[in-house]
Amino acid sequence: MEKTLRILVVDDNPDDRVLIKRELSREFPRVQVTEVTNAQAHTLALAGAPQDLAITDYQLGWSNGLAILQEIKARWPECPVIMFTGTGNEEVAVEAMKHGLEDYVLKTHRHYIRLVASVKKALKRKKERLALLAAEDRYSRLFNNAPIGLYRISSQGEIVEANPALVHLLGFSDRKTLLAAKSVDFYVDLGDKQRWRDQMQHLGEVRGFELQIRKRDGSAVWARNNARAIRDKGGEILGYEGSLEDVTPYRQAMEAFQVLVNSAPMGIYIVQDGKFKRVNPGFAKICGYSEEELIGRPSLNLVAPDYWEEVRHNAVRMLQGQSHLPYEFPVITKSGKTKWVVEKVAPTVYQGERAALGYFLDISEHKSLESQFLQAQKMEAVGRLAGGVAHDFNNMLGVIIGHAEIAMMQVSVTEPLHHNLQEIHIAAQRSADLTRQLLAFARQQTVRPQVLNLNLVLSGMLKMLQRLIGEDIDLVWAPGRDLWKVKIDPSQIDQILANLAVNARDAIGGVGKLTIGTNNAVLDDPYCTDHAEFVPGEYVLLAVSDDGSGMDKETLAQIFEPFFTTKGVGEGTGLGLATVYGIVKQNDGFINVYSEPGHGTTFRIYLPRCQAEAAQDQAETPVKSLQGGSETVLMVEDEKAILDIGLAILKQLGYTVLTAGTPGEAIRLAGNYPGDIHLLISDVVMPEMNGRELAERLIAMKPGLKCLYMSGYTTNVIAHRGVLDEGVHFIQKPFSMKDLAIKAREVLEG
């Protein structure tokens, strides 16, 4: 009669207990469920009859699942405990497993069936565990007396002789009792008896024959048997003699090793004659095939064709002991996906023949992160180069623009020379725009960030953007609700949207749709793990999508590089997206691009959330007409050409101008000048000392002196990461006469 199964259910939810009992009753007809709903019932249950298994919730009115687990294990160490809960988490599961939890099942409607499967597995494991513990205890005693049993049996199978080791091995209390038994009684599988006889008849002996033998108590052990036939002079078999060695630990070790191989996250395989003979589940998982599909398959079939010779060469060198270094190569999975792996092989013997034992690890994610890191380094290096080039060009362009403007003022607009000068001026201004874009990419653009609502800024740009992309393209505006604030220079938002809109317009090339949207976004650790440059946190998302031609992977890998363009000669500078990239990075943001050929493109820009309140809109200061003054200005610049054109412009504007080529010269000049100096216009980076240090020295000499700094790019002298320090007045090279006139009056009158 089937034994009644006793199960303890600890759960204070009556509905859950009903469902648990229903599922258990369906699977186990003879089940006795003891329900525990409070602390008193739990104490009584622990004092009662032993339970075959326990099921507990985690969150209980009087306790928790971890405490229940520990109390049950203290009372009944061999009682399996399953935690069936909807309120636990991974940490709870891990901690419970450390205290002997058998399984952890989430409490959902569909998992009640899984609970029953878990119970069956737990009971099976318990049975095996108890049997194993009992067997190990018996086997250790046998080993301590004599590890190998010796015997002699008659041709009819009667045991004639047995040593003490065999008596103990077979579980008999004494030799006499064992000798009364029949050898056939010890076979667990009668097929082993027939195979043993066939081998003995064919070879006259048995070597290393492994079989399961049944002990007197009915339990079974694995044994290795060596035996030979005892014959008379006529060759007739009189009986058999041999040894019986308990090899249960060896078999268990092999099974444990197989479990280890099967559970290893890396791929492990044996190749013989170029074909797979054994593979573990980890190998099959990486390749996307089943283990059965891989057995017998040529090993090189998994390797990307371009790497066949390289992999074969490396494997041969490693098998010959000429190399011990792992090597990398791509494999093609069953789905056609390419994965990068690192492999190492070693010589081995399989079924008596030479073979190769190998392992490899999937390093696809590592390769991807490495590629992202190298790309970031590349962009950083190109940015530094671009910033340096822009700085040098700015100085030259400043000279060209200044002289062109002064010359135009001295030539009548009716003269052909005026037109020539105007063309020079226009070309120089366009070149200055290019250098400004380079500075934006290099994150050396001068900015004045403001706390603002991106929705308000973008909504004010829609008309301008519509004119920019044309009437054939629908502009869709999708603002997010309750949008967080960001801190950024509004002019940089203009640059981002203008560049992305032009890029989308050219990609659409006719009728299409451009969608601009915003939203709040939280980037978590898993997402940032897959995106090397990203940092977890709260961000405002700006998404710009078009339904244009899209881009392939090769193009996507280069779109942010300066001067890279897919447009024809003369149709683009290749700086638009580089500018966007630089602006986003300067503001501690991130940018992602999703695109496929023929399926459009989406740019996702993440700008850090700013907790401060948005500043009130201020009315713009009206642009004044070209206005000079009569004050005294000291201009300090170590580039003579810039100094000369600055002198000419300031004189043209009516100022009294003092010039110095070095900070030391400026200090001496100011010290000897008898009158007031009203304004210092100084380069930022110079020999001897920087512009800020010079200003401090001169203000000490001339109280009331006002300062205007000029540079081709920002430095940490007057700014931090491109953001000007509070109270600093700055004009960026190259500047026009109008720019300098307005800025000088602004500083002097401020």
State residue 717's pLDDT score: 52
State residue 405's pLDDT score: 84
State the Cα–Cα distance between residues 742 and 736, nearest whole angstrom: 10
User: Does residue 328 surpass a pLDDT of 60?
Assistant: yes
Instruction: Tell me whether residue 155 is in a domain.
Output: yes
Burial of 695 (0-12, 13-18, 19+ CB in 10 A): buried
Q: Across all residues in the chain, what is the average pLDDT?
A: 84
User: Does residue 631 surpass a pLDDT of 70?
Assistant: yes
Tell me what the mean pLDDT of segment 256-282 comes to: 82
The model's pLDDT over 589-618, given as tens digits with 9 standing for 90+, comes to 999 899 888 889 999 999 999 987 755 544
Instruction: Tell me whether residue 622 is in a domain.
Output: no
State residue 515's pLDDT score: 94
Going by the DSSP 8-state scheme, the letter that residue 480 receives in this structure is P
State the Cα–Cα distance between residues 640 and 633, nearest whole angstrom: 17
Closest CA to 661 of 680, 690, 698, 635: 635
| 40 Cβ contact partners less than 8 Å away, ≥ 6 residues apart | none
State residue 443's pLDDT score: 47
Which region among 193-197, 443-447, 565-569 has the lowest average model confidence (pLDDT)? 443-447
Clarify whether residues 559 and 639 are in a common domain: no
Residue 622 confidence class, pLDDT cut points 50, 70, 90:
very low
CATH number of the domain bearing residue 392: 1.10.287
Domain end (from 137, 163, 198): 137
User: Does residue 315 surpass a pLDDT of 50?
Assistant: yes
Which region among 573-582, 586-595, 621-630, 672-681 has the lowest average model confidence (pLDDT)? 621-630
Query: What value, to the nearest 5°, has the Cα angle with vertex 205 and ends 204 and 210?
Result: 145
Clarify whether residues 287 and 340 are in a common domain: yes
Clarify whether residues 727 and 650 are in a common domain: yes
CATH number of the domain bearing residue 29: 3.40.50.2300
Which region among 257-266, 270-279, 701-710 has the lowest average model confidence (pLDDT)? 257-266
User: Does residue 379 surpass a pLDDT of 70?
Assistant: no
User: Does residue 63 surpass a pLDDT of 60?
Assistant: yes
Clarify whether residues 207 and 323 are in a common domain: no
User: Does residue 520 surpass a pLDDT of 90?
Assistant: yes
User: Does residue 648 surpass a pLDDT of 60?
Assistant: yes
Instruction: Tell me whether residue 627 is in a domain.
Output: no
* Distance of alpha carbon 52 from the chain centroid: 44
User: Does residue 624 surpass a pLDDT of 80?
Assistant: no
| 338 Cβ contact partners less than 8 Å away, ≥ 6 residues apart | 304, 330, 331, 332
Domain end (from 98, 114, 137): 137
Q: What interhelical angle do 364-410 and 640-652 show, nearest 10? A: 50
Which region among 267-276, 336-345, 432-441, 465-474 has the lowest average model confidence (pLDDT)? 432-441
User: Does residue 686 surpass a pLDDT of 50?
Assistant: yes
Q: 650 or 323, which is more confident?
A: 650
The model's pLDDT over 91-141, given as tens digits with 9 standing for 90+, comes to 888 999 999 999 999 888 777 888 999 999 999 999 998 888 877 766 445
Residue 46 confidence class, pLDDT cut points 50, 70, 90:
very high
User: Strand ranges (DSSP E) for 41-111?
Assistant: 53-56, 81-85, 103-106
Clarify whether residues 656 and 563 are in a common domain: no
Tell me what the mean pLDDT of segment 241-249 comes to: 87
**Dihedral sign for Cα atoms in the order 173, 178, 181, 182:** positive
CATH number of the domain bearing residue 320: 3.30.450.20
User: Does residue 277 surpass a pLDDT of 70?
Assistant: yes
Query: What value, to the nearest 5°, has the Cα angle with vertex 87 and ends 84 and 92?
Result: 80
State the Cα–Cα distance between residues 92 and 685, nearest whole angstrom: 60
Q: Which domain holds residue 488?
A: 450-608
Which region among 11-15, 413-417, 438-442, 746-750 has the lowest average model confidence (pLDDT)? 438-442
Instruction: Tell me whether residue 615 is in a domain.
Output: no
Clarify whether residues 498 and 566 are in a common domain: yes
User: Does residue 419 surpass a pLDDT of 90?
Assistant: no
Closest CA to 105 of 114, 92, 96, 95: 114
Clarify whether residues 400 and 526 are in a common domain: no
Clarify whether residues 421 and 532 are in a common domain: no
User: Does residue 716 surpass a pLDDT of 70?
Assistant: no
Instruction: Tell me whether residue 209 is in a domain.
Output: yes
Domains held by the chain: number: 6
Instruction: Tell me whether residue 175 is in a domain.
Output: yes
Residue 68 confidence class, pLDDT cut points 50, 70, 90:
very high
Instruction: Tell me whether residue 625 is in a domain.
Output: no
The model's pLDDT over 131-177, given as tens digits with 9 standing for 90+, comes to 888 777 664 454 345 568 888 889 888 888 888 888 888 899 888 88
